[in-house]
Amino acid sequence: MTLLLDRRLLLKAASLGLGALAVPGVAQMASARGFTHGVASGEPRQRSVMLWTRYVPGGRVHWQVSRSEDFRRIVAEGDASAEAERDHCVKAVATGLQPDRWYYYRFRDGRGGVSPTGRTRTLPEGRTQRFNLGIFSCANLAFGFFNAYGHAAARNDIDLLVHLGDYYYEYPHGTYPSARTAVPGRFHPETEAFQLDSYRLRHAMYRADPDLQRLHARFPMVLMWDDHETANNSWQGGAENHDPDKEGAWSARKAAALQAYREWLPVSDQSWESYEIGDLAALFRLETRLTARSRMRAYEEVLKRGEDMKAGLIRFRDTAWRDPEMTMMGSEQEAWLAGGLKRSAKQGTRWQLLAQQTLMGSLALPIEAKGWLRADAPAAVARAVAAGAAASEVGLPLNLDAWDGYPAARDRLLRSALDADSDLLVLTGDSHNGWAFDLDLAGTPAGTEFAGQSVTSPGLEGYAIDVAPGQLESAFRARNPALKWADASRRGYLTLSLTRDRATGEWLSLDTVRTRSTRLAATQRMSVTRGRRRFA
């Protein structure tokens, strides 16, 4: 029988040594009843939005949408069911709304219980002058407090949130981060998530965080998964840290992770989707992990036994690295995106945005990076840096798990953007650091990339010794001419402000994640003028 996230699961978690009951907010779940995890909204359209809550012990709930916070101007309402088979999660689509409007919503049970009030909005229709996005990725609970979420939740100038993946991490306690470096009181269960009940528990633990609850209650969010929603470095047929002998079939693990994801978040069942922000922008939500991604290569795997490293890397560079069969999205999604870009640009939409997971700009490791590592850097990191430095010497990139590992697929995407005559803006997470790239295809400007830093997960600064952040970033820019700005030392989030002729990204860096704080340490703005496809 499937375990449900109620008292039975939480007590079972304790009996299995999962450590769940010691995590702040989770102990209370064992006896929690009513609307246990607040409210959230997503999948916004011009006349509809999806509403979410979780209600224990289950049964019918009534939802309401109002133009006023006091709910005297109710414009839509209906009933939904909190079913045990879906872990008591409720998703309802409110229709009949007006474009470009803010609304309030709530849920009520039949016994007088009322959920927290949420705020959401519909997308604009027709001519649109401006629109602001808040963009997040890579929030590891054990590495620190979700201060980026807290900072954004206090703002009134954001219209829509986009989460680019790694919404949570599947690792067990003591693995990324180590028990020594985890923030006291914030840690994962003892066992890695790989079954339905453990994925549900992981969602419940993260959604107990007050900053994340406030953020969801304040704004609608478009979400997509990256790898840690299933397992690290996942692809269509497996993952770097999935062991079939111990964790069962990959297909079963993937299905369990996606079921929990779709239960616990206000998302549709579509793996990829597009959203029209009036005539100002089209936002394409891509899926680059689980549907069709080819298995990523690793440098240590491409070298033949006894082969000289440099000769082997050159051979790989000139042959297998450029294999056109290597794909991130698959032919069906590639065709869908190419058609969508063409339609969007043809109808006069000012910007075409790709919300996706991994770096699209090409990033080679500076040669001098071999001397940057801390003595206690993990062996896997040391090997990766050594391989990355050797690869860089022959013109190969650092990270084969990003688009750099799929150059033919990247070329096809950029070609479709150029063929559509689009103004392409790529939004990226995954890397934990902030980057701004010009994107070229054979020397022709094709778009720009805004890559946001992580909410809490550490970046390059965690592995470098005696290298000042400015020196680190200068070395990367010198090695990578298309890289126009970088931040390799801070956690935070990204905003993108769109007007009809200009797109401006602002990287907001919090001063710490080790304690609860919303004080900013630094900000950086980079802009693109429509038609230039280059950072100003």
Q: Does residue 346 have a pLDDT over 90?
A: yes
Residue 376 burial (CB < 10 Å; 0-12/13-18/19+)? exposed
Q: What are 77-110's pLDDT values in tens digits?
A: 999 999 999 999 999 999 999 999 999 999 999 9
pLDDT band per the 50, 70, 90 thresholds, residue 28: low
Side chain identity, residue 51: L
CA 144 to CA 186: how far, in whole Å? 7
Rg (CA), the chain: 23
Structure tokens at 159: 């219209």
CA 389 to CA 405: how far, in whole Å? 16
Q: Do 149 and 212 contact (CB within 8 A), yes or no?
A: yes
Q: Which residues pair with 510 in a beta bridge?
A: 520
pLDDT band per the 50, 70, 90 thresholds, residue 387: confident
So what's the pLDDT on residue 213?
A: 98
Q: Does residue 6 have a pLDDT over 70?
A: no
So what's the pLDDT on residue 31?
A: 65
* DSSP run (H or E) holding 277: strand 273-277
Report phi then psi at 294, rounded to 5.
-70, 155
* DSSP run (H or E) holding 37: strand 34-42
Q: Do 405 and 288 contact (CB within 8 A), yes or no?
A: no
So what's the pLDDT on residue 468?
A: 79
What is the chain's length? 536
pLDDT band per the 50, 70, 90 thresholds, residue 30: low
Q: Does residue 50 have a pLDDT over 70?
A: yes
CA 389 to CA 483: how far, in whole Å? 18
Q: How many helices (H) and strands (E) would you count in the chain?
A: 12, 22
Nearest to 512 by CA among 198, 146, 82, 16: 146
- Entry pTM: 0.94
Mean pLDDT of 487-496: 96
Least confident among 52-61, 99-108, 456-465: 456-465
Side chain identity, residue 409: A
Q: Does residue 2 have a pLDDT over 80?
A: no
Mean pLDDT of 235-260: 97
Q: What are 150-198's pLDDT values in tens digits?
A: 999 999 999 999 999 999 999 999 999 999 999 999 999 999 999 999 9
Q: What DSSP string runs through 350-398?
A: SEEEEE-SS--S--PPPGGGGGTB-TT--HHHHHHHHHHHHHHHTT--S
pLDDT band per the 50, 70, 90 thresholds, residue 333: very high
Going from the C-alpha of 343 to that of each of 135, 317, 346, the distances in angstroms are 25, 35, 5
Nearest to 506 by CA among 490, 487, 493: 493
So what's the pLDDT on residue 21?
A: 41
* DSSP run (H or E) holding 525: strand 520-529
Residues 76-105 as b or e (16 or more Cβ within 10 Å = b) = beeebebeeebbbbbbbbbeebeebeebbb
Q: What are 120-148's pLDDT values in tens digits?
A: 999 999 999 999 999 999 999 999 999 99
For 435-457, give the secondary structure using H, E and C: EEEEEEECCEEEEEEEECCCCCC
Residue-averaged pLDDT of the chain: 93
